[in-house]
C-alpha cells in the first residue's frame, strides 16, 4: 500500500467491467450506461448526472426513493406498472422524512415516463430518488434544498431467471428488521436498507441466494428487499405491516388472491412455520414473484415452485404485460420507436395514462 495516498489506493476501473465497458456481472443489477438521467427538472447526459460529495443525504441516509418497472406489452407498446402507487409512496416517504418534493405528483409521474422514453427503454427499471442537497452539514439539514433525480436502466430478473423458474435458496439472517419506532418503516428510505445490505452479503457469503429477516420479536418480517408469502393447506399468509415496507407488489398479490377467491391472512408467523409451509415466495418490483425452494437447508414443499405460486407468477406477468384486461388500470402506457441509425431506440411521445 502506498502510504502517501498514491494511485494504488484508487479503485481499478475494470473491476466490474471488461475492456469493452460491458458488465462482468450480468444478472446482479450492474447498470449499463444509457443516454440520460432526469435531474431537477431536466434530462442531462448520463455522464453529467452528478451530485456534490457534501450532499446531506449521501452522509446521513435520509432520502426517499422508489423502484418501478416497465414492461413491453404483447401488443408492442410498453407500460409502467402501478406508476401512480409508486409515486404516491415516494411522496408519502418524503412526508414521513419531513421534507417536500419540489414537483407535483403528475410532474414526477410524467418525468419517470419521459426518462424511459429518452433512453429508448421499451422495458426497464426506474429509480426516482428525492434527497437533501448540500449546504448545512451535521445531522440537522436546516434548509438545504430538496432535489429529485430519476434514472432508468435495463434490468432482468433480480434473483435470476433460474430463480424465477426453480426457486431460490434462502437463509434466515442474523440481522433483524428495525422496530417501528427505530425507523419509520412505512417509508422507503435509503438508510433503511443498511441492514438489508448486510443480510444479503451474509446470505451470499454462505452460498444462499437471498436473506430472510426477522422482526425485533423474532417473527418473520421480509427479505432484504422483498415481501414474503407462505402457503399451507390452501391458506396464504403474509406478514402484517408492523415493521415492513408496504410493498406495492405485495398489495398486487393480495388483490389477485382475493379475485381468485383465495384466503389471504396478514398475520405474524415464525421461521419454523415457514419451514413447514407447502409453498413460499418472495415478491417485489425487482424480484417480481420468485418461488422459495429452500429455507435454512430445509426444502419448502417439494423443493420447487408450487402450484399456487405458479398461478400467481403467471397471473402477475399477465397483468404487467397487458394480457389481463381486468388489471389494465395498473398500466401507464408509452411508446418508443426504432432508431434508424442502429444505435438503439429514439424517443417517442408518451401515451395518455
Active-site amino acid positions? 188
User: How are the residues of the chain apportioned to helix, strand and coil, as percentages rounded to the nearest 5?
Assistant: 30, 30, 45
User: 194 near 66, Cβ under 8 Å?
Assistant: no
Number of DSSP helices (H) and strands (E) in the chain, helices first? 8, 18
Burial of 334 (0-12, 13-18, 19+ CB in 10 A): buried
Q: Kind and range of the H or E element at 85?
A: helix 83-97
Q: Which residues contact 25 (CB under 8 A, 6 or more apart)?
A: 16
Whole-number Cα distances in Å, 41 to 78, 105, 134, 147, 335: 23, 13, 18, 9, 21
Q: Kind and range of the H or E element at 258?
A: helix 248-259
Would you call 160 helix, strand, or coil by DSSP?
coil
What number of CA atoms fall less than 13 Å from residue 253's CA on the CB side? 33
What number of CA atoms fall less than 13 Å from residue 142's CA on the CB side? 7
Whole-number Cα distances in Å, 34 to 37, 151, 176, 344, 345: 9, 10, 36, 10, 11
Find where cell 435520509 sits: 62
User: 221 near 196, Cβ under 8 Å?
Assistant: no
Find where cell 418461488 sits: 291
Question: How far apart, in whole angstroms, are the C-alpha atoms of residue 113 and residue 79?
Answer: 9
Question: How far apart, in whole angstroms, are the C-alpha atoms of residue 180 and residue 240?
Answer: 12
User: 96 near 186, Cβ under 8 Å?
Assistant: yes
Amino acid at each position: 500500500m502506498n502510504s502517501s495516498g498514491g494511485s494504488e489506493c484508487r479503485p481499478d476501473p475494470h473491476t466490474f467491467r471488461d475492456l469493452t465497458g460491458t458488465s462482468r456481472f450480468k444478472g446482479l443489477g450492474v447498470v449499463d450506461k444509457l443516454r440520460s438521467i432526469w435531474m431537477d427538472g431536466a434530462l442531462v447526459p448520463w455522464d453529467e448526472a452528478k451530485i456534490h460529495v457534501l450532499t446531506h443525504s449521501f452522509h446521513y441516509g435520509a432520502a426517499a426513493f422508489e423502484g418501478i418497472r416497465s414492461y413491453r406489452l404483447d401488443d408492442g407498446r410498453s407500460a409502467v406498472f402501478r406508476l401512480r402507487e409508486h409515486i404516491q409512496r415516494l411522496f408519502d416517504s418524503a412526508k414521513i422524512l419531513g421534507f417536500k418534493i419540489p414537483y407535483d405528483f403528475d410532474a414526477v409521474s410524467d418525468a419517470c415516463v419521459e426518462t424511459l422514453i429518452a433512453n429508448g427503454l421499451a422495458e426497464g427499471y426506474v429509480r426516482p430518488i428525492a434527497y437533501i442537497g448540500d449546504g448545512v452539514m451535521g445531522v440537522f439539514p436546516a434548509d438545504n434544498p430538496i432535489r429529485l433525480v430519476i434514472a432508468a436502466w435495463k434490468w432482468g430478473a433480480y434473483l435470476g431467471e433460474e430463480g424465477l423458474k426453480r426457486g431460490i435458496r434462502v437463509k434466515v439472517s442474523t440481522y433483524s428488521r428495525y422496530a417501528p419506532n427505530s425507523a419509520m418503516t412505512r417509508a422507503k428510505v435509503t438508510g433503511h436498507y443498511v441492514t438489508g445490505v448486510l443480510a444479503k452479503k451474509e446470505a451470499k457469503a454462505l452460498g444462499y441466494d437471498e436473506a430472510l429477516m426477522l422482526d425485533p420479536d423474532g417473527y418473520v418480517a421480509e427479505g432484504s428487499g422483498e415481501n414474503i408469502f407462505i402457503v399451507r393447506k390452501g391458506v396464504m399468509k403474509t406478514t402484517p405491516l408492523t415493521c415492513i415496507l408496504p410493498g406495492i407488489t405485495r398489495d398486487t398479490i393480495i388483490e389477485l388472491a382475493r379475485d381468485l377467491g383465495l384466503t389471504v391472512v396478514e398475520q405474524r408467523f415464525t421461521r419454523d412455520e415457514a419451514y413447514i409451509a407447502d409453498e413460499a415466495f418472495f415478491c417485489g418490483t425487482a424480484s417480481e414473484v420468485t418461488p422459495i425452494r429452500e429455507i435454512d437447508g430445509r426444502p419448502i414443499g417439494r423443493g420447487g415452485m408450487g402450484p399456487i405460486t405458479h398461478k400467481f407468477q403467471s397471473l402477475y406477468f399477465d397483468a404487467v404485460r397487458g394480457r389481463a384486461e381486468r388489471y389494465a388500470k395498473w398500466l401507464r402506457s408509452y411508446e418508443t420507436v426504432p432508431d434508424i441509425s442502429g444505435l438503439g431506440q429514439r424517443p417517442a411521445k408518451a401515451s395518455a395514462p
